[in-house]
């Protein structure tokens, strides 16, 4: 194994191609996953997709080889989004899924995400999600040890391909949205600019939006797999999309990440609404149309649970309170949120990074479902997106990264912050690093505020995230936290 970080954990595996991540490493990790899968019904079937980034072919081929070498049959979808693989695992009754992707990481990265059936889902027929922590640990142990069960010639798996899975995914979103809302969105004839960053979301995104009667301007829609800008859908990376929305006089702009499981939003003025708003707008859409979306109907929505991780904006709490719902907070990571959603019977959940989990479609974060829910909200109200955003109390969230040599290197900072928060009389949550909450924060100029410090699951960094009423307040809070942890 060469130089560079190799991250193995609840989010799968990621590394630098040609350095820490080689075809041999990819084959062994896929073989570990294939060895871990149960074999009660003969050879397991695994659905495989890739995000299409340049240079992914050898890693994709190695992953398929690892699965078949471990005795799994493979259904290869080609270039498809992570949520599309989740949908296909459900619809094809597969034993699991693998996506060759490094998600929002840069061009030099790649990796493997795993999806597993986790019992009976929130909605009938929904099964696939990221492996729960216990399963992820077991797969990692097989990978790091000598536990891959390579099979002989008679037991090796076989490969077949499936085309147009992206259309199947888009069609499922339309069905879950319902005929009435689909017709209403089509009547609006929205002008939409979407940036798919030359990766897996191109085909599925276009098909969904055109099926909803939208006039689509598509950026990042070639097949080169070369990202036209850093692929994480954050404000600083989406200047061209913001300008394109203004130039086209579009109603909304959408930005996908390479594997299509995250979505950021731009309003009609070309302003970055952001990733934090994606879950809030999608959740509001579900809460306001619970019956139409096929979710459980509760008088006043009082039985509805929204699930979100600790790094997600408190806007979701405000929204839940307005609708008589409640919020369950989890550790960061799709697997943790999906697990909580299944336990709680949640109709909608996700993460503040633009990842929406709508179990009516899939228990995987899904940019297509998020687009559909945001357009449905706009169509139902007949108002611009900016007006809908203005309905909610405003907060400012600031995020910083600190490079660290290992995941454990964040522990001293976490402990110092927890001790400081205890002396300050604030509330702490130690599920994942430490989150500190104030109802009236003196370090942020007053008002509700929180900060979350944790080691990343996917990059060799420590994340510092703070939210307050104003950007200045969030910055001041982060400065105080940095002093507390000794930076």
Torsion of CA 359, 363, 366, 369, to 10 degrees: -10
428: its two tokens: 């702490």
Tens digit of pLDDT for each residue in 128-168?
888 888 899 999 999 999 899 999 999 999 999 999 999 99
The whole-number pLDDT of residue 9 equals: 84
Tens digit of pLDDT for each residue in 94-112?
999 999 999 999 999 999 9
Q: What's the half-sphere exposure (Cβ side, CA atoms, 13 Å) at 180?
A: 7
Which residues make Cβ contacts (< 8 Å) with residue 270, sequence separation at least 6? 242, 243, 245, 246, 253
- pTM here is 0.91
Catalytic residues: 103
Query: Torsions phi, psi of 111, nearest 5?
Result: 180, -170
First-to-final CA distance of the chain: 33
Tens digit of pLDDT for each residue in 421-470?
988 779 999 999 999 999 999 999 999 999 999 998 777 889 999 999 99
The whole-number pLDDT of residue 364 equals: 95
pLDDT reading at 195 higher than 50: yes
Average pLDDT, the chain: 92
Q: Is 57 helix (H, G, I), strand (E, B) or coil?
A: helix
Q: What's the half-sphere exposure (Cβ side, CA atoms, 13 Å) at 6?
A: 16
- Between CA 91 and CA 111 the distance in angstroms is 25
Residue with tokens 């990264």: 401
Give all domains of the chain, ordered by start, each with its CATH number.
6-163 (3.40.120.10), 168-390 (3.40.120.10), 396-484 (3.30.310.50)
The whole-number pLDDT of residue 304 equals: 85
DSSP state of 425: T
- Which residue did the predictor score with more confidence, 480 or 303? 480
The whole-number pLDDT of residue 302 equals: 45
- Between CA 4 and CA 21 the distance in angstroms is 8
């Amino acid at each position: 194994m060469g130089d560079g970080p190799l991250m193995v954990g609840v989010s799968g595996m990621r590394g630098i191609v040609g350095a820490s991540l080689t075809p041999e490493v990819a084959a062994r990790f896929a073989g570990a996953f294939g060895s871990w899968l149960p074999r009660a019904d003969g050879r397991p079937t695994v659905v495989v997709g890739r995000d299409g980034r340049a240079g992914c072919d050898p890693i994709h081929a190695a992953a398929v080889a690892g699965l078949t070498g471990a005795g799994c049959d493979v259904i290869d979808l080609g270039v498809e989004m992570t949520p599309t693989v989740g949908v296909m695992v459900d619809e094809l009754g597969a034993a699991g899924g693998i996506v060759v992707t490094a998600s929002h990481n840069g061009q030099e990265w790649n990796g493997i995400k795993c999806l597993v059936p986790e019992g009976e889902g929130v909605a009938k027929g929904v099964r696939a999600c990221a492996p729960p922590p216990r399963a992820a640990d077991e797969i990692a142990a097989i990978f790091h040890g000598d536990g891959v069960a390579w099979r002989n010639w008679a037991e090796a798996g076989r490969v077949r391909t499936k085309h147009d899975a992206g259309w199947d995914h888009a069609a499922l979103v339309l069905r879950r949205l319902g005929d009435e809302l689909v017709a209403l969105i089509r009547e609006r004839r929205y002008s939409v600019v979407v940036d798919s960053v030359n990766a897996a979301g191109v085909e599925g995104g276009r098909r969904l939006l055109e099926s909803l009667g939208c006039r689509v301007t598509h950026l990042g829609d070639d097949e080169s797999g070369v990202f036209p800008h850093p692929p994480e859908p954050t404000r600083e990376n989406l200047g061209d999309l913001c300008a394109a929305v203004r130039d086209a006089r579009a109603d909304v702009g959408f930005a996908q990440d390479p594997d299509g499981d995250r979505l950021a939003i731009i309003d009609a003025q070309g302003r970055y609404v952001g990733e934090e708003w994606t879950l809030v707008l999608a959740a509001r859409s579900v809460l306001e149309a619970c019956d139409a979306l096929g979710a459980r109907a509760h008088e006043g929505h009082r039985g509805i649970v929204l699930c979100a991780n600790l790094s997600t904006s408190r806007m979701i709490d405000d929204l839940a309170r307005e609708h008589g719902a409640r919020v369950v907070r989890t550790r960061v990571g799709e697997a943790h949120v999906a697990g909580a959603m299944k336990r709680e019977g949640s109709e909608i959940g996700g993460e503040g990074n633009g990842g929406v989990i709508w179990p009516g479609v899939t228990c995987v974060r899904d940019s297509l479902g998020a687009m559909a829910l945001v357009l449905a909200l706009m169509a139902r109200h007949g108002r611009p997106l900016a007006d809908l955003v203005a309905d909610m109390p405003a907060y400012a969230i600031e995020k910083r990264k600190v490079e660290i040599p290992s995941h454990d290197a964040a522990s001293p900072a976490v402990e110092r912050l927890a001790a400081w928060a205890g002396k300050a009389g604030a509330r702490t949550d130690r599920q994942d690093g430490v989150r500190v909450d104030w109802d009236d924060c003196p370090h942020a100029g007053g008002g509700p505020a929180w900060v979350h410090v944790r080691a990343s699951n996917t990059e060799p960094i420590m994340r510092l995230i703070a939210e307050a009423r104003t950007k200045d307040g969030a910055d001041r809070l982060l400065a105080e936290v940095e002093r507390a942890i000794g930076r």
